[in-house]
A and B are shown apart, each in its own frame.
Chain A
Amino acid sequence: MRKKGKLSNKSADIQNKAVIHEQTKTTNSRKSFKLGYDFHTQMELKLMLLPSVILILVFSFIPLFGLIIAFKQYDPITGISGIFTSSWNNFRNFKIIFHSFDFVPMLINTLGINLLNNLVGVPVTLLFALLLNEVLNSRFKSFIQTVTYMPHFLSWVIYGGLFITLLSTDGGVVNTILMNLHLISKPIQFLIDPKYFWGIAVVTSLLKDLGWGAILYLSSMAGIDMELYEAATIDGAGRFKKMLYITIPGIKPTLMILIIFAVSGMLNNNFTQIYIFQNSLNLPASQVIDTYVYQIGLQQLQFGVATAVGLTKSVFGVLLLVGANYLSRKLTDSGLF
């Protein structure tokens, strides 16, 4: 950092030299400009940061004192002071989650469904965005975007309920078509056989949020310099080459960010979706942590346990985030920031 040197008040020469030095520095610098470390700029930046910092401190940090509840035997009757005066309960709130004899299968389902969702969802959404980008007619493109984004607004009760009707063995459309095409002789028990559950969860999730998930990719693609495409055309590159060498690298920052966050969210399932498709027969494949917590009657009255579950997930989320970010930097030189 170049300090504003103490100028000897002797000769204008030296002053001139300083000015020239500064000018040359400006024209010469390429990577980062040293301007900005000065007080004024820092104050301006701080001003820009200020409103959000206040909001975060007030609305996200102050409430953190409530995390203590996870470690205590807290009863809402005791009011706010009760948070501090209730007794410590020896991690009992945490043990409840791990207590189930079924904990390992639950964990496997939770992670498995999420992993599958990401492994399938991210590339497919990306592919969809890429193909959409290639649509020539802009009106049609806009129409496709709107239509594919519509299912996002349907509730899982309705959306899932529709699929359950379609997949039924008793006259459901899917089975009827497959049988008429002679691909199967007996209806497939989609909703009964545990082995189909993960697939159903992933496919329905994908279809519902395809258009929604593509939004960020599309907006990133819009920011890629057209000249790169023009140059590539001149070099004789076809569409696939352009996609591979310009578009994908161009949205790499956004892509990696989304992947990192997907990894860090591995313990969180879409509760409503799983709950809708879950029944006593597919339970070995459909019981996840979120539905288990719901079923053991942990409505919010059990604040201690609910907070404990939330805290555990947060900690794991952060660890996964850090890990994923590290890997991303190592492998693709791009990370969260």
Chain B
Amino acid sequence: MLKLKKIKMGELEMKCKSIIIFVVIATMLTTSGCGNSKKSQGTSSNASKSPVSTTWFSDVPFWNPPTTWSTDPSTVQGAITQKTGLKFTMNIPAQDADAKLSLLMVSGVLPDVITISDPVAIQKLEKSKKVWKLDDLLKKYDPKSHILTDFPADIKTALVNRDGAWYAWPSHIISKDSAKEYPVSDPYYSNVNNLGNNYGIMFNSKIMSQAGITLNDLKTEDGVLAAFKKVNSMNLKVNGTSVIPMLLDGLTYQNSSFLTLENFFGAMPVDASGNYRDLFMDPITKHSLSFLNTCINNNYVDPNQLTMDNDAVKSVIASGRVFSFIGNTADTFFDANIGHQDGWVSPGPVLSNKGTKPVLSVAQQAGTGWMQTFVSTSAKNPEKIAKWISYMSSVEGLKLTWYGFKGKDYTIDSKGLLIQTTAGLQNTKDYSKTGTGAYWPFANISFTDHVIPAPTKENAPGLLESTTVITALGLSKDTVVYDSSLLTLPNNYIDSNSDIGLIQTEIKNYKLAQIAKVVMAKNDSSFNSLYNDMIKKLKDLGQDKVDSKINDQVQKNYKTYNSTLKAVNP
């Protein structure tokens, strides 16, 4: 028997051996291949003709510029290389990028160019003193740079206030000073920039006409509630499925739909004397919650909406059966091809039946943009990088990186405005392959609003429709606009690990569950008692401590900007 086994073992041994041999060869091949390609990636710094390889790291996982850098001068990247002598290796982790950055910090080797958006990471990077102050970098290596003269002063002030010095190049530059440098080509842009807000309410004009409701009817709270009642009683159907009177923003309803109501009814995060206190503590909040509660109890809103993810929201909107949507209108993608045929309109604010004025917060001081780009002090080619930054932010560079090549991708019309050709538009659409419009860290909104004409009904009907909706609240004469910059806090003002930070976390979690309970209350008395309990509990958890800490900074802001906020509806 053992002999039999021995024969079978022979086979097995052979198999084992052949597998082992294969494994060894495979390992050798792959590691040698790995070694080779590593060598070929080496940089040659002596010949100034061949482009220098620079690493570019980002913590925005969905930023997707082309992964391989092309040096062909007829491409956007190639043109950049031609002008600056640099080519880039992108390092954009799919997830947990800030953890990766921390690891790189620990190991002491930072990428050459770092573009990040997370405030904590930004703060850590600055504290590490391993990044250049941009003034110093430019003065030393590109003293003739246009940046030293034309960078918007108000944004620079905001950056220095935030970071202590000018370390970061901000993306999506837009401010009063930048608008002076690049005036808008059309009031459309200044409306959108200054008064646009994605949080709002929009109504489906098709269903409106079916139900005999006009936009005028929808300007007040009572009017809206009456419209919902009417829609429900008429039992309207679209494609066989019943019409939904009001759609909330799915899972994120507490952040968007609810906050929209707060705006409509005039809740503000400051009290009558201008002291900061959390928006939720404004007594008007009770009214906003009660509105939601009424809608749920009267079957205008199905509680299932509170569990929908964004895909479900989009799909319901696309089905055409939604009468009204309240929340972040961009969440519905209604300006894309699907859905905009419903003719969405907005009355602007929905006036509270208690007579309070609607508000809208707009950042009126210069902001600091979204993505922040740093240059590491260990970068080997600071001169080339400095010149690269100057190029990317110059008129020539912006035109190239956002629109491509003149003639092929765009033409200039009689007013001097830039018109994209079909090829150019396609290139912008495929930005992750062509690079046209892919370099978000250098986006300059004032510039693009300056060189491009406003969209028209012919070339961008969806966009116009959405613009009308998002500016409705701001343009309404009833709305009181207030400056939200007075409420901005420095980066990581409250560390999440600190005592106050912990209280904030507690409160955030408590609200999540409790607000849900309040809006689902079955009758007035339970609504009232749940609401009162909630306010009391928030105070017990330490809301006052948090408010007072934030108020310290807000009072400082008042002094800095020489302006005060007071509650519009005390």
Residues of A within 8 A of B (CB): 75-77, 79-80, 82, 92, 96, 99-102, 161, 164-165, 168-171, 189, 191-192, 279-284, 287, 292, 295-297, 299-303, 305
Write the chain A residue with the least CB distance to B496: A297
Cβ distance B518 to chain A, nearest Cβ, rounded Å:
11
Task: Decide: B506 and A100 in contact? CB cutoff 8 A.
Answer: yes
Provide a sorted-by-A list of 11 A–B residue pairs whose CB atoms are within 8 angstroms: A80-B107, A99-B502, A101-B510, A101-B541, A279-B307, A280-B251, A283-B512, A292-B509, A297-B496, A300-B96, A302-B497
Residues of A within 8 A of B343 (CB): none
Task: Decide: A102 and B509 in contact? CB cutoff 8 A.
Answer: yes
Residues of A within 8 A of B124 (CB): 75-77, 301
Given contacts A77-B124, A161-B309, A299-B98, contact A191 B506 (CB under 8 A): no
Task: Decide: B106 and A168 in contact? CB cutoff 8 A.
Answer: no
Partner pick for A281 among B312, B502, B508, B520, CB 8 A cutoff: B520
A296 CA to B506 CA, complexed, in Å: 8
Residues of B within 8 A of A (CB): 96, 98-99, 102-103, 105-108, 118, 120-121, 124, 127-128, 241, 251, 253-254, 302-304, 306-307, 309, 311-312, 496-497, 502, 505-506, 508-510, 512-513, 515-516, 520, 541
A80 CA to B104 CA, complexed, in Å: 11
Task: Decide: A76 and B102 in contact? CB cutoff 8 A.
Answer: yes
Given contacts A76-B124, A169-B302, contact A164 B309 (CB under 8 A): yes
Residues of B within 8 A of A101 (CB): 506, 510, 541
Partner pick for A283 among B108, B120, B506, B516, CB 8 A cutoff: B516
Residues of B within 8 A of A171 (CB): 241
Interface of B is mostly: helix
Residues of B within 8 A of A284 (CB): 513
Residues of A within 8 A of B513 (CB): 280, 283-284, 287
A296 CA to B496 CA, complexed, in Å: 8
A297 CA to B502 CA, complexed, in Å: 11
A156 CA to B98 CA, complexed, in Å: 24
A161 CA to B307 CA, complexed, in Å: 11
A295 CA to B98 CA, complexed, in Å: 16
Given A99-B506, A299-B98, A300-B98, output 9 extra A-B contacts at Cβ < 8 Å. Answer: A75-B124, A79-B108, A102-B509, A169-B303, A192-B306, A295-B509, A297-B505, A300-B102, A301-B121
Task: Decide: B307 and A281 in contact? CB cutoff 8 A.
Answer: yes
Residues of A within 8 A of B496 (CB): 296-297, 302
Residues of A within 8 A of B304 (CB): 168-170, 189, 191-192
Task: Decide: A281 and B509 in contact? CB cutoff 8 A.
Answer: no
Q: How many A-B residue pairs have CB under 8 A?
A: 102
Residues of B within 8 A of A77 (CB): 105, 124, 127-128
A102 CA to B513 CA, complexed, in Å: 11
Residues of A within 8 A of B541 (CB): 101
Residues of A within 8 A of B307 (CB): 164, 191-192, 279, 281-282
Residues of A within 8 A of B509 (CB): 100, 102, 287, 292, 295-296
Residues of B within 8 A of A99 (CB): 502, 506
A284 CA to B253 CA, complexed, in Å: 18
A165 CA to B502 CA, complexed, in Å: 35
Residues of B within 8 A of A96 (CB): 497, 502
Cβ distance A164 to chain B, nearest Cβ, rounded Å:
7
A272 CA to B452 CA, complexed, in Å: 44
Task: Decide: B306 and A279 in contact? CB cutoff 8 A.
Answer: yes
Residues of A within 8 A of B98 (CB): 299-301
A171 CA to B502 CA, complexed, in Å: 41
Partner pick for A76 among B96, B103, B497, B508, CB 8 A cutoff: B103
Write the chain A residue with the least CB distance to B316: A170
A82 CA to B302 CA, complexed, in Å: 54
Residues of A within 8 A of B251 (CB): 279-280
A102 CA to B102 CA, complexed, in Å: 31
Residues of B within 8 A of A279 (CB): 251, 306-307
Task: Decide: B302 and A76 in contact? CB cutoff 8 A.
Answer: no
Task: Decide: B516 and A161 in contact? CB cutoff 8 A.
Answer: no
Task: Decide: B515 and A280 in contact? CB cutoff 8 A.
Answer: yes
Interface centre among A79, A101, A170, A303, by most chain B C-beta atoms within 10 angstroms, is A170
A283 CA to B108 CA, complexed, in Å: 42
Write the chain A residue with the least CB distance to B102: A76
Write the chain B residue with the least CB distance to A172: B304
Residues of A within 8 A of B506 (CB): 99-101
Residues of B within 8 A of A295 (CB): 505, 508-509
Residues of B within 8 A of A283 (CB): 512-513, 516
Task: Decide: B102 and A280 in contact? CB cutoff 8 A.
Answer: no
A99 CA to B513 CA, complexed, in Å: 17
Cβ distance A158 to chain B, nearest Cβ, rounded Å:
11
A161 CA to B304 CA, complexed, in Å: 14
Residues of B within 8 A of A302 (CB): 496-497
A301 CA to B99 CA, complexed, in Å: 6
Write the chain A residue with the least CB distance to B311: A161
Residues of A within 8 A of B505 (CB): 100, 295-297
Residues of A within 8 A of B128 (CB): 77
Cβ distance A102 to chain B, nearest Cβ, rounded Å:
7
Interface centre among A75, A80, A284, by most chain B C-beta atoms within 10 angstroms, is A75
Task: Decide: B106 and A80 in contact? CB cutoff 8 A.
Answer: yes
A163 CA to B506 CA, complexed, in Å: 30
Partner pick for A299 among B96, B241, B306, B516, CB 8 A cutoff: B96
Write the chain A residue with the least CB distance to B241: A171
A282 CA to B303 CA, complexed, in Å: 12
A297 CA to B103 CA, complexed, in Å: 18
Given contacts A296-B505, A297-B496, A300-B99, contact A76 B510 (CB under 8 A): no
A260 CA to B209 CA, complexed, in Å: 66
Write the chain B residue with the least CB distance to A101: B506
Residues of A within 8 A of B118 (CB): 301
Residues of A within 8 A of B108 (CB): 79
A303 CA to B99 CA, complexed, in Å: 9
Residues of A within 8 A of B520 (CB): 281
Task: Decide: B302 and A170 in contact? CB cutoff 8 A.
Answer: yes
Nearest 4 interchain pairs by C-beta: A300-B99, A76-B102, A280-B516, A283-B513
Residues of A within 8 A of B106 (CB): 76, 79-80, 82
Task: Decide: A280 and B105 in contact? CB cutoff 8 A.
Answer: no
Write the chain B residue with the least CB distance to A297: B496
A299 CA to B304 CA, complexed, in Å: 30
Cβ distance A77 to chain B, nearest Cβ, rounded Å:
4
Write the chain B residue with the least CB distance to A175: B304
Write the chain B residue with the least CB distance to A303: B102
Residues of B within 8 A of A305 (CB): 497
A241 CA to B124 CA, complexed, in Å: 67
A253 CA to B510 CA, complexed, in Å: 46
Given contacts A171-B241, A296-B496, A297-B496, contact A280 B120 (CB under 8 A): no
Interface centre among A75, A161, A299, by most chain B C-beta atoms within 10 angstroms, is A299
Residues of B within 8 A of A169 (CB): 302-304
A189 CA to B508 CA, complexed, in Å: 25
Cβ distance A92 to chain B, nearest Cβ, rounded Å:
8
A314 CA to B515 CA, complexed, in Å: 35
Cβ distance B517 to chain A, nearest Cβ, rounded Å:
8
Residues of B within 8 A of A75 (CB): 124
Given contacts A79-B108, A189-B303, A281-B306, contact A301 B497 (CB under 8 A): no
Task: Decide: B303 and A192 in contact? CB cutoff 8 A.
Answer: yes
Write the chain A residue with the least CB distance to B96: A300
Cβ distance B541 to chain A, nearest Cβ, rounded Å:
7
Residues of B within 8 A of A189 (CB): 303-304
Task: Decide: B303 and A281 in contact? CB cutoff 8 A.
Answer: yes
A94 CA to B405 CA, complexed, in Å: 57
